[in-house]
A and B are shown apart, each in its own frame.
Chain A
Amino acid sequence: MNGRYSREITVAAALGLLLVALAVFAPNFFELQPLLSRFTSQMPALVAAIGITLVIITRQIDISLGAQFSMCAVVAGLVAAAGMPLGVAILAAVGTGIAMGAFNGILVAWLGLPSIVVTLATMVTWNEMLRLWQQGRLLPLPDGIQWFGLSQAGGQGLVIGIAVVLLLAAAWAMRHLAAGRHVYATGTDAEAARLAGIDPKRVTLGVFVLMGGLAGLAAVLNLVQSPQVQPNSGDGLELKVIAAAVVGGVAINGGRGNLWGVLLGLLLLTNVNPALTHFKMEPYWERAIQGLVILLAVVADGMKRSKKSTA
């Protein structure tokens, strides 16, 4: 029952059940074009979820990731609109993300400030800056940006490909690279990690920087899916990916979790909405169901922990 992968199995079962119900009651859900579009549109969140998973395993949190995403999208959009090649726009987005991530990381790691407060402050700051700067206008992108200048099918393939390669690389690195193990060690017990020769400050800075860079890349993967950028495109993304991580079994108090669970959590949560549409149910249910799923995950975590402490 309490096997190592019990959470992953539970979430996979819930997702499987949902898909079976859809197959029976709303087979239209599996039409290729909408299915592919839905999946592609979830890839930016997957990339951001990789980042937040690392942050949470380090026993930190970054709620500014949605604001970072918005900022990176606007920067990339402006660079592209200025006539720069797509590659430059991508670098600008990732670079901007890294800078914002480093800012969070320095404040958290070196000044020892709580990450929830630091990233709350940076979230509000980036969002307000964007509001003042862009006035909510949609920013038109030049031709050749959408789908990286490929066909729709080719572009969707590339978006999914990039996200999946990143997921595989990150999952492998977390298991097999020293840096990956340092992330777990820092989150489990920073003092013990320090005694073992790990520099927790560097690890903390590292995960925030990586989070920023991934938010930038996620913004690009989102940007290429339509010909205009909205300056608040990352609104709410932080809730979506933190929820996916929690549902996927990442311990909110650090040190535990893996990306496969997060992937399943994200797929489960993001498919609630299209499932409701296909079941022709009121959209009011979406948040309620998502909330219930998160609650179940948190309660399951809590029970597991209390069982361990009494055992």
Chain B
Amino acid sequence: MKRILCTLALCTVPFLSACKKSGESAGGEEKLTIALLPKSKGNQYFVTCEKGARVAAAELGAELLFDGPTNSDPAKQNEIVENWISLGVDVIAAAAENKDGLSTALRKARAEGIEVITYDADAQTDARSFFVNQATAKGIGDALMDNAASLTGAEGEFAILTANLTAANQNEWIEVIKARQAEKYPNMKLVDIKPCDDQKDKAQQETTNLLSAYPNLKAVVAVCSPAVPGAAEAVKQAGKTGAVKVIGLGLPSENKAYVKEGVTQAVILWKVEDLGYLTIKAAAALAKGELKAGAAEFDAGKLGKLAVEGDNILLGTPFTFNKENIDQFDF
């Protein structure tokens, strides 16, 4: 029943906007067609993006095309962009599975007069006008450290679980965490950084070891997503639920059970729905000529005014999912 209702709702949106369009056509304004390309359209993360995108499209009275590979498939992404070029859409908003591969197709779209922006995963800078950046390294690192501090009373030992010791993203976040700790939380001490090779089971074993090697450990901070539930399971099995806090960067859905049990205190991520919303807002503004290179901020409707750094539109500080709010999110 719910499904039928949703289908109905989705079907009516174009009709409603179509009505609006015919009403407006007297003013000579054309309805925008915005094409949103996810890395994979079956992925819950991008389905959630689409949800926010639909809201923005409805607000704007624009038509939204959402299509992508069923599985993460760079070649299929190019194919879809080619189709959109021949269809003559106004704007393409893309999350690149393969940076170089997709850039070629996106450049071609620009050459055909189609505006291009990227979101979630950037293409090469000359293949798009703007990148909707969901989180900066500084934003992520600060949010993790601040959460760790507020959960432990800004005192005591903590350890970090990372993907592997050479992962560029993670190392950048860890540097931010260290700097933030040195600057704001002098009574906290980072005792160890352990790689988990992006494996949940290894994260669990590493955490088991950390808990016995550092009996005074107050918090485990996981900077790669499989490590968050892995660390939580180890803390739970060690009977240290609540005594050792678990926080990390991850998907709410993968951590919901632990958050509700009180093993994991905070999961940090951006609001994925907002990312979709902002992307469509920016895409429309770009097509209408309201968003130009050099802008310092962007009015993103219900999200308020957001900062633009260079050609990056920033979604803002990451969101903290905890016991109180995690039920509202399903990605």
Contact in complex: B201, A230 (CB < 8 Å) = yes
Q: Is A37 an interface residue (CB 8 A)?
A: yes
Question: Total A-B residue pairs with C-beta atoms closer than 8 Å?
Answer: 95
Q: Is B49 an interface residue (CB 8 A)?
A: no
Q: Is B27 an interface residue (CB 8 A)?
A: no
With contact pairs A28-B215, A283-B194 given, residues A33 and B205 touching in the complex (Cβ less than 8 Å): no
Give bound CA distance, A198 to B192, whole Å.
Answer: 55
Q: Is B212 an interface residue (CB 8 A)?
A: yes
Contact in complex: A277, B194 (CB < 8 Å) = yes
With contact pairs A227-B257, A278-B209, A280-B192 given, residues A232 and B199 touching in the complex (Cβ less than 8 Å): yes
Which of B86-94, B140-148, B226-234, B310-318 is the interface stretch? B226-234
Residues in chain B near residue A34, CB distance under 8 A: 208-209, 211-212, 238
Q: Which one, A137, A230, A278, contacts B212 given CB within 8 A?
A: A278
Residues in chain B near residue A236, CB distance under 8 A: 197, 199
Give bound CA distance, A233 to B198, whole Å.
Answer: 10
Residues in chain A near residue B40, CB distance under 8 A: 135
| A 36-76 contacts with B by CB, 8 A | 37-38, 41
- Residue of chain B at shortest CB distance from A135: B43
Closest CB-CB distance, B199 to chain A, in whole Å?
6
Complex interface bits, A18-37 against B, C-beta within 8 A gives 1, otherwise 0: 00000000101101011001
Residue in A31, A135, A227 with the greatest tally of chain B CB atoms within 10 Å? A135
Q: Is B239 an interface residue (CB 8 A)?
A: yes
Closest CB-CB distance, A22 to chain B, in whole Å?
10
Interface range, A side: 20 to 34
Residues in chain B near residue A152, CB distance under 8 A: 237
Give bound CA distance, A101 to B300, whole Å.
Answer: 55
Q: Is B82 an interface residue (CB 8 A)?
A: no
Closest CB-CB distance, B220 to chain A, in whole Å?
13
Contact in complex: B209, A230 (CB < 8 Å) = no
Closest CB-CB distance, A40 to chain B, in whole Å?
10
Contact in complex: A233, B213 (CB < 8 Å) = no
Complex interface bits, A222-259 against B, C-beta within 8 A gives 1, otherwise 0: 10011110101101100000000000000000000000
Contact in complex: A29, B204 (CB < 8 Å) = no
With contact pairs A135-B40, A277-B210, A283-B165 given, residues A233 and B238 touching in the complex (Cβ less than 8 Å): no
Closest CB-CB distance, B309 to chain A, in whole Å?
30
Give bound CA distance, A226 to B237, whole Å.
Answer: 9
Give bound CA distance, A225 to B229, whole Å.
Answer: 13
Tally chain B residues at the interface, Cβ within 8 Å. Answer: 37
Contact in complex: A41, B201 (CB < 8 Å) = yes
Q: Which one, A37, A226, A235, contacts B238 given CB within 8 A?
A: A37
Contact in complex: B209, A277 (CB < 8 Å) = yes
Residue in A31, A225, A228, A273 with the greatest tally of chain B CB atoms within 10 Å? A228
With contact pairs A41-B205, A138-B200, A283-B194 given, residues A28 and B233 touching in the complex (Cβ less than 8 Å): no
Q: Is B299 an interface residue (CB 8 A)?
A: no
With contact pairs A37-B234, A37-B238 given, residues A226 and B211 touching in the complex (Cβ less than 8 Å): no
Contact in complex: B212, A31 (CB < 8 Å) = yes
Residues in chain B near residue A222, CB distance under 8 A: 201
Complex interface bits, B175-210 against A, C-beta within 8 A gives 1, otherwise 0: 000000000000000011111011111001110111
Contact in complex: A284, B165 (CB < 8 Å) = yes
Residue in B208, B210, B212, B233 with the greatest tally of chain A CB atoms within 10 Å? B212
Q: Is B171 an interface residue (CB 8 A)?
A: no
Q: Is B72 an interface residue (CB 8 A)?
A: yes
Contact in complex: B239, A33 (CB < 8 Å) = yes
Complex interface bits, B39-54 against A, C-beta within 8 A gives 1, otherwise 0: 0101110000000000
| B 247-293 contacts with A by CB, 8 A | 254, 257
Contact in complex: A28, B200 (CB < 8 Å) = no
Closest CB-CB distance, B149 to chain A, in whole Å?
23
Q: Which one, B71, B213, B237, B254, contacts A37 given CB within 8 A?
A: B237
| A 178-236 contacts with B by CB, 8 A | 222, 225-228, 230, 232-233, 235-236
Contact in complex: B192, A277 (CB < 8 Å) = yes
Contact in complex: A38, B209 (CB < 8 Å) = yes
Contact in complex: B72, A277 (CB < 8 Å) = no
Give bound CA distance, A283 to B197, whole Å.
Answer: 12
Q: Is A311 an interface residue (CB 8 A)?
A: no
Contact in complex: A235, B209 (CB < 8 Å) = no
| A 251-307 contacts with B by CB, 8 A | 273-274, 277-278, 280, 283-284
Residues in chain A near residue B197, CB distance under 8 A: 235-236
Contact in complex: B204, A226 (CB < 8 Å) = yes
Residues in chain A near residue B194, CB distance under 8 A: 277, 283
Give bound CA distance, A277 to B257, whole Å.
Answer: 28
Residues in chain B near residue A226, CB distance under 8 A: 200-201, 204, 229-230, 233
Q: Is A177 an interface residue (CB 8 A)?
A: no
Question: Could you show 21 A-B contacts with beta carbons less than 8 Å apart?
Answer: A26-B213, A37-B208, A37-B234, A41-B201, A133-B71, A135-B42, A138-B226, A138-B229, A152-B237, A225-B201, A226-B200, A227-B257, A232-B199, A233-B199, A235-B197, A236-B199, A274-B209, A277-B192, A277-B194, A277-B209, A283-B165
Known pairs A135-B42, A277-B213; list 17 more (Cβ under 8 Å). Answer: A26-B213, A28-B215, A34-B208, A34-B209, A37-B208, A37-B234, A38-B209, A225-B201, A226-B204, A235-B197, A273-B209, A274-B209, A280-B191, A280-B192, A283-B192, A283-B194, A284-B165
The 3 closest A-B pairs by CB, nearest first: A34-B212, A277-B209, A274-B209
